Structure 1
Amino acid sequence: MTTHTTSSLDASAQLLDVFKALANPVRLQVLQWLRDPDLHFPPDQAIADQHEVGVCVSHIQAKTGLAQSTVSAYMASLQRAGLVRATRVGKWTHYRRDEERIAQLVDALGRSL
């Protein structure tokens, strides 16, 4: 019973991190944009495959109109919640959705509510 309670608490804590990350409308919007990066970010300006490597933080920053430091903090929050993965390409950081992790979180949400 202790194991079940501990794993249940762990799952609840993970979901809480996700909810906190998605409670910000800009972070939620960016995650939605990353679902179809070629539709929302100019593929001709990408320096790497937007589906494999992700979207450059500078392109996310340009689309949101927010300061680079704010966007970096927002993306770090999404990464900590397990919603995106970061990849460095030279001096640039690219972000893409972690679809496997998102599916696991959706499943966990379905089991816990």
Structure 2
Amino acid sequence: MTTHTKSSLDASAKLLDVFKALANPVRLQVLQWLRDPERHFPAASFEPIADPHEVGVCVSHIQAKTGLAQSTVSAYMASLQRAGLVRSTRVGKWTHYRRDEERIAQLVDVLGRSL
């Protein structure tokens, strides 16, 4: 009989949240784009509101690149944020997203130890 500790169940639940968030190909693509925002969201194609590395990429720019409705992109970004993969920052009326590299590294470590 296998016994599970509360911490191992918590870690498994967190990994499942990440897997669910990444199971959608658009969410996975957006996370990949945010790894190199200047390459995937070039400043020449829009007026940057804030530094993409420090503050993140405006949700409207993500929406424009995906071609999806703003509400869909917002829901996708909220899913990535709940999974701990991105952080959001408000700049005026705009929400910017950037990868949470520290959290992603922790998840990779947990995944490596779990499997």
Fold conserved (TM > 0.5)? Answer: yes
TM-score bracket, shorter-length normalisation: over 0.9
Q: What TM-score, normalized by structure 2, do the two folds share?
A: 0.93
For residues 13-47 of structure 1, the C-alpha deviation after alignment (integer angstroms, 9 at most, x for no partner) is 000000000000000000000000000002xx211
Structure 1 residue ranges, 4+ long, deviating more than 3 angstroms after superposition: 1-4
Tell me the percent identity.
92
Q: Which runs of 5+ in 2 are unaligned?
A: none
Distance of 1:91 and 1:69 partners within structure 2: 15
Counterpart of 2:88 in 1: which secondary structure? strand
Counterpart of 2:53 in 1: which secondary structure? coil
Q: Which runs of 5+ in 1 are unaligned?
A: none
Q: 1:111 to 1:65 in 2, by over 3 A?
A: same
Deviation of residue 2 (structure 1)?
Answer: 12
Q: What TM-score, normalized by structure 1, do the two folds share?
A: 0.95
Distance of 1:96 and 1:2 partners within structure 2: 39
For residues 39-59 of structure 1, the C-alpha deviation after alignment (integer angstroms, 9 at most, x for no partner) is 0002xx211000000000000
Deviation of residue 4 (structure 1)?
Answer: 6.8
Deviation of residue 90 (structure 1)?
Answer: 0.1
